[in-house]
A and B are shown apart, each in its own frame.
Chain A
């Protein structure tokens, strides 16, 4: 009896271990359809700043529009209609996807798109992207809404689409318009600080065009210093979200691309063109631009791009303008957001009263709990006015050049190849990319998606001030999507990770902020080391 019990027991333990292993390989859709005969679509999303409420909104609209949806596959199974199950989970981070896709559709970030597409775990959605959107109530195709560089990256595997970009990851300095009004921190047309946002005499901003979203804000590094001086009297000028200092390194990539412009910046990823901005910097920080331009026609020549002067000016901005006693690291990003939001009310001590916050474009959605609590004071998401500080130009000569920003985070959406309902999943994905759905996303999350779209009239009143700012920024700026289909880049993926490229100066050293903060490097030495280090690994 005892022995029998032991054998059974041990066998069960062994089997359960094996089952645990096997279940991780199997799709988790234990329920492919509901009891009332509806197909169930599982939508997995990374449970981060962008959140998931927006998915529910779009799914509800899908069900309104396609209440009795059916297709040959569903018909053959006697199913009609769709039930959506949204699964927000931190384990759906792009790096973890290899352990198995358990949902049908994913919206997530830090996705190694080329790797997963090649691995064959994403469904080919070329027909969805290139066919007309008319069946889901829109015009044109999804491909029409895509940036050309993004298009060529997305089709780098077998010339097919295996995914689409998800949200745009802009790292910026965010400011509170009301606080700036209260302290009169806007610049007039003569470049003198002391105006409010309502003033008729605002400067034209870095884009040098009147009537745009950047009016009255610092146009040059010099004006940025003036803003810092004015803020430092009563506030901590800039707060860096705690926990990770990498946000600031990502932010200064904007300075590099803004100086270089989209074409020169994209050379870093397509290695095809003529570099016009290479140079050296003297030990005193004087930049000397090369007299001749440098043709870049292949990957091996790309190493020279580490001498792009825009990279030096970005380093210079961080060290000599941002960190010049202006920057504080908060203990956590939540704490930084909370204190930044409440600064306007004047109750915070100076060390917790922040003028600007270094954040990602999803921050307002991430801070929704604090904004909700703020409603009692007459605040709340729709009543607060947060803005994006435009990237100041390095010098006055650069004023008027088109602003350029960079979208990071490798955020993509895709259909799992092992989806239970391939056609239905593609249809749903298509529905998520109509203008109405894209507009709904921005309204709900105050974040933008990497497509060309407009905010629907019905959504506009429900969009926060910050969301409108992002939309305006998108309209007036060139956007760099830092992806490359070059095989060398895909092979040396660590070196080309967003936190390593272009800032790496050693195999484990790419955090500019930490290097400056600890007095280990200066902008000049850092710039030199970027080039020296690149020469060590570029062709190996």
Chain B
């Protein structure tokens, strides 16, 4: 009898505890779940629907296209007729991606290795390289813009260089703006990569490193033959994930210039879509076309991801 009572009490206790566990679990996941449903499922679903709609002022909303449901997709291919240098925009986006991979990833791996090996001032470098990722980008952009215009460009002017506008080196119509912005963007993205790679390197077994040192390996060989193979999945993930941003990366151009007029020298696909679909009702009629454009870009990016993934797999073999 007593046993039965104790058993019931234990049962009640465990059922209360499991109830609490459930509440705890649901409380924990509800926010990310709601966010996922709204910002991933709903927003993307809505974008797909938008690409088959048009803005209708009589209802102050969007209505489905009836006469030609693919009008927006057709419109994407006619952007060239509307004066858009699509080729240049794609080229800029690809250059940005290639430079990010080539000049961002490789130095980031080397620096991460430096930090991982705890060389001179590694704490200092770790802090300062990661600093741009902590400071709000708009603040950093303003400081950089001020530095480039008021300091560097002014000094160059004093030395005899003439600039067409007060934007100096950052004049969006000049040939200098794109490389300057590219270097800035790579620098600003550097910290995040270093953090990822140094954390991945930290997982490398110290005994492996010690063994290779005993075998007479220098730092270069340790990096290439011991550490790099260990972090390769991270590098691969980083590169593949960056392809997803190939057509959405706007290189912080909006922070620098806001919405600027036709500037094919610097504009990327991401910036074009962003500025055309800026928030506010006065841009609503652009949304369907930009949705179609975005979807087509996504198809290209997904295909590129499969290709790169295949290339990686071939190298792994």
Contact = CB atoms under 8 A, between A and B. Distances in A.
Interface in B71-85: 75, 78-79, 81-84
Contacts of A491: 54-57, 285
Interface string B91-130: 0000000000000000000000000000000000000000
B83 A10 contact: no
A506 B173 CA distance: 16
A508 B83 contact: yes
Given A95-B281, A115-B281, A507-B84, A517 B164 contact: yes
Given A3-B24, A14-B30, A493-B282, A329 B166 contact: yes
Contacts, number: 114
A329 B57 contact: no
Interface string A489-532: 01111100100000001111111001101101000000001000
A85 to B, nearest CB: 26
A230 B54 CA distance: 54
Contacts of B149: 331
Contacts of A112: 280-282
Most chain A beta-carbon neighbours within 10 Å: one of B24, B31, B57, B78: B57
Given A118-B59, A508-B275, A7 B23 contact: yes
Nearest to A117: B60
B162 to A, nearest CB: 14
Interface string A113-154: 011101100000000000000000000000000000000000
A76 interface: no
Interface in B40-78: 54-60, 75, 78
Nearest to B174: A518
A371 to B, nearest CB: 25
B221 interface: no
A82 B30 CA distance: 45
B279 interface: yes
A173 to B, nearest CB: 20
B261 A511 contact: yes
A490 B55 CA distance: 9
Given A3-B20, A17-B31, A508 B84 contact: yes
Contacts of A242: 166
A116 B58 contact: no
Nearest to B259: A508
A284 interface: no
B57 A118 contact: yes
Nearest to B56: A491
Given A116-B281, A118-B58, A518-B173, A507 B82 contact: yes
A11 interface: yes
A511 B275 CA distance: 15
Contacts of A510: 261
Given A118-B59, A508-B83, A331 B166 contact: yes
B84 to A, nearest CB: 5
A114 B57 contact: yes
Contact of A7 (B20, B81, B83): B20
Contacts of A64: none
A269 interface: no
B280 A10 contact: no
A13 B32 CA distance: 12
Contacts of B311: none
A6 B24 contact: yes
Contacts of A330: 166
Given A115-B281, A508-B262, A508-B272, A517 B55 contact: no
Nearest to B172: A514
A315 to B, nearest CB: 15
B154 to A, nearest CB: 11
Most chain A beta-carbon neighbours within 10 Å: one of B30, B81, B260: B81
Interface string B162-188: 001110000001000000000000000
B27 interface: yes
A10 B82 contact: no
Contacts of B276: 507-508
A411 to B, nearest CB: 14
A14 B280 contact: no
A515 B261 contact: yes
A66 interface: no
Interface in B280-314: 280-286
Given A96-B280, A118-B60, A505 B83 contact: yes
Nearest to A120: B60
Contacts of A536: 78, 81-82
A6 B26 CA distance: 12
B57 A490 contact: yes
Nearest to A507: B82
Contacts of B23: 7
25 contacts: A3-B24, A7-B24, A14-B27, A94-B280, A95-B282, A112-B282, A115-B57, A115-B281, A242-B166, A330-B166, A487-B57, A491-B285, A492-B285, A493-B281, A493-B282, A494-B283, A494-B285, A505-B83, A506-B82, A507-B84, A509-B83, A509-B261, A515-B262, A520-B173, A536-B82
Interface of B: 20, 23-24, 27-28, 30-31, 54-60, 75, 78-79, 81-84, 149, 164-166, 173, 260-262, 267, 272, 275-276, 279-286
Interface of A: 3-4, 6-7, 10-11, 13-14, 17, 94-96, 98, 110, 112, 114-116, 118-119, 242, 329-331, 487, 490-494, 497, 505-511, 514-515, 517-518, 520, 529, 533, 536-537, 540
Given A330-B166, A493-B282, A517-B165, 15 more contacts: A3-B24, A11-B27, A95-B281, A96-B279, A110-B282, A112-B281, A112-B282, A115-B281, A116-B281, A331-B149, A493-B283, A507-B83, A509-B83, A511-B261, A540-B75
